[in-house]
Amino acid sequence: MRSTPHVSSDPRRTLPKHRAGGVRATCARVRGQGDPPRAAEVDAADTESPLDLWEKAAEIGLTHYMLPEEYGGGGITDLTTQALVQQELCYGDISIGNFLTSNGFFAGPVEALGTDAQKKRWLGLLCSDQPPITALATTEPGSGSDAASIQTRAVRDGDHYVLNGQKTWISNAPYAQYFVVFATVDPSLRSRGVTAFIVPRSADGLTVGQPMPKHGQKGIVNAEVFLDNVAVPVEDRLGDEGAGFYGLMNTFDASRILIGASATGLARAALDTALQYAHEREQFGTPIINHQAVAFRLAEMAAKVDTSHLLTMRAAGLFDQGVSATQEAAIAKLVASENATFVASGALATHGGWGYSREFPVERWLRDAKLEEIEEGTSDIQKLIISRSIAK
């Protein structure tokens, strides 16, 4: 695993001279840079996750490397190392990389709120030889960034709760065998009413809608989840009533840092490919890397890649020290996600018209990058978090 913060392509190294065959031949030689064979296939499938890759990843412990050894996980519980792993996976393909580690979203609330017995049961299941695919069910049609306004109701009825509501844009929903569902015991309490529950897919009254086509990152499939008088035993509540919002925010701090790492991995792949292409593609009798307009664009792209990496590592380091890293996580997520879009756009511009073609990975990276600005809180929400933090 590479852990170096900079791009792997060195613009000073000797590269092959431009050979005969025109621009299509040039593109063909560099099209595989940072683009594994399955990435384009998964993108073309649109609403199908690569389940065979999930099985292979599970065999080597990649789906649960981040969970404690005591439950059968890989024991790599520090966020700094996790961010490096995430960056490398997403250098290959951000859609597949994020899918293979998506059980971390389910595990987060369990680790933050669960009893010892719950952790042993659920984290142990995630670390089994055939771990289930899971999902975090938070977002609702009327509740996205404002998680405190969740309307899905949880009403206590003896030794169980009855859940009613609708969730939307739930990652992994078409395949998930278990959900962490966030509901409120009293909407008037806002964040103090939010409570987390583990709900199996097999529960009576739980149904999943059709896969939702997306602009990018198609290896992670989203769908709506409907809860119609779903009975959940009290022992499957995570933490006390009203503790769910804390567990969700704790999960968001970590996940936003990992999104920063994912975005950095994508940006590195885009920069590497653009550098390679700029050395091989000739115009006006010289490789385009020798044209200042192209060289300056690549320089700015490289600066943004390094900025993203360093901000992500800073946030991860503070998180690992037990220091509140909400502001730093928001900064890392904001900057790295927007930088990824900038770098992917710059890579497309460097490739010219061929960057716009679906024959090559560059346009896909631009589509994939945009999601990083939206999920786990949009850029506007990150700015809101940062502004409130610095105002204190």
* Average pLDDT over every residue of 311-337: 96
The two beta strands, 222-233 and 206-208, are antiparallel
* Average pLDDT over every residue of 375-389: 94
- Burial bucket for residue 242 (CB in 10 Å: 0-12, 13-18, 19+): middle
Whether the predicted pLDDT of 118 surpasses 90? yes
DSSP, collapsed to helix, strand or coil, labels residue 265 as helix
Which overall architecture, per CATH, does domain 134-242 show? Beta Barrel (2.40)
Whether the predicted pLDDT of 250 surpasses 90? no
Share above pLDDT 70 across residues of the chain, in percent, rounded to a whole number: 91
User: What's the pLDDT tens digit per position in 147-203?
Assistant: 888 999 999 999 999 999 999 999 999 999 999 999 999 999 998 999 999 999 999
* Average pLDDT over every residue of 91-118: 95
Q: Are 178 and 225 in contact (CB under 8 A)?
A: no
Q: How confident is the model at residue 35 (pLDDT cuts 50, 70, 90)?
A: low
Catalytic residues: 376
| Dist. CA 22–CA 14, nearest whole Å | 21
Whether the predicted pLDDT of 369 surpasses 90? yes
Element (H, E) at 271: helix 244-280
DSSP, collapsed to helix, strand or coil, labels residue 388 as helix
Q: Give 22-39+246-391's CATH code, choosing from 3.30.830.10, 2.120.10.30, 3.30.70.260, 1.20.140.10.
A: 1.20.140.10
User: What's the pLDDT tens digit per position in 226-245?
Assistant: 999 999 999 999 999 999 98
DSSP, collapsed to helix, strand or coil, labels residue 285 as coil
Element (H, E) at 299: helix 292-320
Q: Are 193 and 248 in contact (CB under 8 A)?
A: no
State the angle between helix axes of 103-113 and 116-126 in degrees (0 to 180), rounded to the nearest 10: 170
Q: Token pair for residue 390?
A: 């610095």
Question: Domain residue spans in the chain?
Answer: 22-39+246-391, 45-79+94-126, 134-242
Whether the predicted pLDDT of 12 surpasses 60? no
What is the signed CA dihedral for 29, 31, 34, 36, rounded to 10 degrees? Answer: -110
- Compute the mean pLDDT over every residue in the chain, rounded to the nearest whole number: 89
* Average pLDDT over every residue of 101-109: 94
Note the pLDDT of residue 22.
Answer: 47
pTM of the model: 0.88
Q: Token pair for residue 68?
A: 């404690």
> What's the distance, CA 4 to chain centroid?
21
